[in-house]
Amino acid sequence: MEKRPFVSLKQAEGIAQAYPTPFHLYDEKGIRENAKRLKEAFSWNKGYREYFAVKATPNPFLLNILKEYGCGTDCSSMTELMMSDACGFSGHDIMFSSNDTPPEEFAFAEKLGAIINLDDITHISCLEETLGYIPETISCRYNPGGLFKISNDIMDNPGDAKYGMTTDQIFEAFRILKEKGAKNFGIHAFLASNTVTNDYYPMLAKVLFELAVELQKKTGAHIKFINLSGGIGIPYRPDQEPNDIYAIGEGVRKVYEEVLTPAGMGDVEIYTELGRFMMGPYGCLVTKAIHEKHTHKEYIGVDACAVNLMRPAMYGAYHHITVLGKEDAVCDHKYDITGSLCENNDKFAIDRMLPEIEMGDYLVIHDTGAHGFSMGYNYNGKLKSAELLLKEDGTVQMIRRAETPKDYFATFDFCDIMKKYGK
């Protein structure tokens, strides 16, 4: 698919006058349209709900947009639970899926009334000891092990992942939980990440639906919901085609009617936990070219770095880059696009063919709306950038200010050493 930025050069120049680069920019129109499509694609299931993965883009302004479309939140930590609570999500609006979970986080999730999704069979005793009881609604995370394949293509390796219970363990977990008072059960699984295929969700659904039938049959547990979690990806590369969410929803429906309905389980609710799909394409990192270097390679240094977007440095991940104002220019120059960290992997692109870049040019790094800002850190004492929302009416709203040195030094507020710079 063709990669075109949702912001123009004129818009970027105007925004930069108020909010200096680098900054993350989100497209409100795109977010809303995508949330509508997802809801429509699964409207065949009366209990369907999207639990947005807060870890992907933890910003209350964006959570509140998704809330308008009936979304809940998928949380994995105390602070994500706090943010959900602050935004007005409560009770079963919240799914708490964690691993190696501190007991106090179980307690806080229960205080909010969240659905708790247990990652391991040993967490049953931890949860009971923490709360003094087992909640009536509970979920367990499943990991079948081995490799997950689609048409002989290996999609991921669940057997090497730290998440979830084995087949034997989840049957035993359901029996134990039922004996301890649980009445409504959920199943959760995440078997592959960032799949760009319409076949992943239906195949995952078949695995979980068949498991659900056996679990209900052999343990007597009432399966209230099946959480297909995340895994629906986005086309980071221009030679990839986006997933068709309507085809995905229809594929899951067919499997539902083939497996669950005949088993008398046609009332099972379907949940999803999409982060990347919901937000990824609707965010970008806007940065400016500030240096050029001509040595063994041609380098363009920008004012963003891996602090603002870690994925290329951490995973070697591809993010498309557009030079604003030169969208249709010939890509006849080969560059490494670099940040300023004292790490050689601080590169947004390596040997990337782009139009000639001049100092002061604005670059848009695409598809940073999920796992972009959220994965940032403060190495080299670099500060995180602002997050901005490009509204449907064309105006821009700051939804997170840029960090300041005061923020960076805030954890020294117990002493006077950094007082000079902590104001």
Q: Are residues 116 and 254 in the same domain?
A: yes
Least confident of 23-27, 147-151, 177-181: 147-151
Give per-residue pLDDT as tens, 291-318. 999 999 999 999 999 999 999 999 999 9
pLDDT band at 148 (very low <50, low <70, confident <90, very high): low
Query: What pLDDT does residue 154 have?
Result: 42
**H/E element, 25:** strand 23-27
42-88, pLDDT tens digit by residue?
999 999 999 999 999 999 999 999 999 999 999 999 999 999 999 99
Q: Are residues 53 and 161 in the same domain?
A: yes
pLDDT of residue 156: 46
- In this structure, are strands 362-365 and 321-323 parallel, antiparallel, or unpaired? antiparallel
The answer to the question of residue 147 being in a domain is: yes
Instruction: Please give the residue that has the higher pLDDT: either 246 or 231.
Output: 246
The answer to whether residue 235 is domain-embedded is yes
Q: Are residues 190 and 241 in the same domain?
A: yes
Strand boundaries in 200-239, DSSP class E: 223-227
pLDDT tens across 115-137, in order? Answer: 999 999 999 999 999 999 999 99
Q: Is residue 417 part of a domain?
A: no
Instruction: Judge whether 212 lies within some domain.
Output: yes
- pLDDT above 90 covers a percentage of the chain that reads 90
- Burial of residue 111 (CB within 10 Å: 0-12, 13-18, 19+) is exposed
**225 and 318 assigned to the same domain:** no
Nearest partner of 396 among 65, 12, 34, judged by Cα? 12
CA 112 – CA 92 distance, rounded (Å) = 9
Please check whether residue 276 is in contact with residue 374, taking contact to mean a CB–CB distance below 8 angstroms: no
CA distance linking residue 14 with residue 3, whole number of Å: 22
Examine the domain organization and report whether 69 and 203 are in the same domain: yes
If you search the block for the tokens 């030094």, which residue do you land on? 409
Q: What is the CATH number of the domain that holds 343?
A: 2.40.37.10
- Mean pLDDT along residues 248-253: 98
CA–CA dist 407, 383 (Å, integer): 9
Q: Does 210 share its domain with 306?
A: no
Provide the CATH number for the domain around residue 252. Answer: 3.20.20.10
pLDDT digits (tens, 9 = 90+) for 269-278: 999 999 999 9
Query: What is the CB neighbour count within 10 angstroms for residue 158?
Result: 19
Q: What is the pLDDT of residue 155?
A: 45
Question: What is the rounded distance in angstroms from the CA atom of residue 208 to the CA atom of residue 307?
Answer: 38
Residue 419 maps to a domain = no
Residue 357 or 150, more confident:
357
Which residue matches tokens 């309905």?
261
Q: Which of 238, 257, 279 is the last residue of a domain?
A: 279
Residue 99 lies in a domain: yes
* Res 1: pLDDT: 80
Taking the alpha carbons at both ends of the chain, their separation in whole angstroms is 48
Cis peptide before 22 (omega within 30 of 0): yes
369 with 271, same domain?
A: no
Is residue 385 within 8 Å of 23, Cβ to Cβ?
yes
Q: Are residues 392 and 287 in the same domain?
A: yes
Note the pTM of the prediction, 2 decimals: 0.95
pLDDT score of 150: 57
Same domain, 74 and 144: yes
* Mean residue pLDDT across the chain: 95
SS3 category, 171: helix
Mean pLDDT of 220-234: 96
Same domain, 104 and 183: yes
State the residue range of the domain holding 351: 281-412
Tokens of 193: 């990440």
Q: What is the pLDDT of residues 76-117, one digit of tens each?
A: 999 999 999 999 999 999 999 988 999 999 999 999 999 999
- Measured from the Cβ of residue 136, the count of other Cβ atoms closer than 10 Å reads 9
Q: Residues of the chain with pLDDT > 70: what percent?
A: 96
Q: What is the β-pairing status of strands 94-97 and 72-75?
A: parallel
Q: Is the pLDDT of residue 152 over 50?
A: no
- 320 and 339 inside one domain: yes
Please compute the mean of the pLDDT values over residues 25-40 and round it to a whole number: 98
Does one domain contain both 366 and 217? no
* DSSP conformational letter for 53: E
If you average pLDDT over residues 245-270, what whole number do you get? 98
User: Beta strand 184-188 with 223-227: parallel, antiparallel or unpaired?
Assistant: parallel
The domain boundary residue, chosen from 248, 279, 310: 279
Tokens 């969410």 correspond to: 245
DSSP state of 346: -
Residue-by-residue DSSP string for 297-329: SEEEEES--TTT--HHHHH-----EEETT-TTS
What was the pLDDT predicted at 192? Answer: 78
Residue of higher predicted confidence among 148 and 363: 363
Q: Where residue 191 falls among pLDDT bands split at 50, 70, 90?
A: confident
372 near 283, Cβ under 8 Å? yes
What is the CB-side half-sphere exposure of residue 26 using CA atoms within 13 A? 25
Confidence bin at 193 (pLDDT 50/70/90): confident
pLDDT digit string (tens) for 369-411?
A: 999 999 999 999 999 999 999 999 999 999 999 999 999 999 9
In a domain, 21, yes or no: no
Q: Pick from 222, 249, 279: which residue ends a domain?
A: 279
Contact partners, residue 6, CB within 8 Å, separation at least 6: 27, 29, 30, 282, 284, 390
Q: Strands (DSSP E) along 40-136, which ranges?
A: 49-53, 72-75, 94-97, 115-118
CA angle 360, 314, 288 (to 5 degrees): 5
Number of independent structural domains in the chain: 2
Indicate whether 418 belongs to any domain: no
